[in-house]
Amino acid sequence: YISANNAVIYWNPVKTVVNYEYYFGSIFSLPGNGTPLYVASLQTPYLQPSTSYSAHVRCNCVDNGIKSSSGWSSLDFTSEPPLNISANAHIKPSIETYPNPVKNNLVIKLNGAAKGKATASITDVKGAVVRSIVIDNATTNVDVAGLASGVYMLQYADAENNITTKFTKE
């Protein structure tokens, strides 16, 4: 697993291992000694985005009373580029309506950015539109005091998204 600022490296465990050693550094760096490690994985936090690194691992074993160290196994990799606003542009907005059930004032909260002109309509169970609302803020308050008690649908729409949610008027 490799991200912009973290890498997790796994390898197959060795049966006769006493411990592993790892060395982590810039690419093409050759290790002398490593840092002891007792599991068959290595996590490297705090990486710099879009940077080349090299991870080296070897095992120290005892087999029939004989101590030995393997050669270094190396993995060169580059961390991912940083995540930026444009990378999140595909995330669709969501809406919250509260309180539910509502008596007088329904709050419509838009989570995310609207794509173009955003509107909402409230329909009754028969599908008749009883309110039309322009959504021009992250939070919009709608007076529903004049609506009859019952179940209503709120339909949000912008240039790219359609979201429907249900609420109850007391």
> What secondary structure does DSSP assign to 11-43, as a single string?
-PPPTTEEEEEEEEEETTPPPSS-EEE-SSEEE
In this predicted structure, what is the pLDDT of residue 128? 93
pTM: 0.48
HSE (side-chain half, CA atoms, 13 Å) at 6:
5
Sign, CA dihedral 82-84-90-91, equals: positive
- pLDDT tens, 78-130? 888 886 655 455 567 789 999 999 999 999 998 888 888 999 999 998 889 99
Enumerate residues 6+ apart whose C-beta is below 8 A from 126. none
Return the CATH number of 91-169, one of 1.20.1540.10, 2.40.30.10, 2.60.40.1930, 3.30.420.10. Answer: 2.60.40.1930
Break the chain into its structural domains and give their ranges: 6-78, 91-169
- pLDDT tens, 16-66? 999 999 998 776 667 788 999 999 999 888 888 888 888 899 999 999 999
Token pair recorded at residue 43: 């996590």
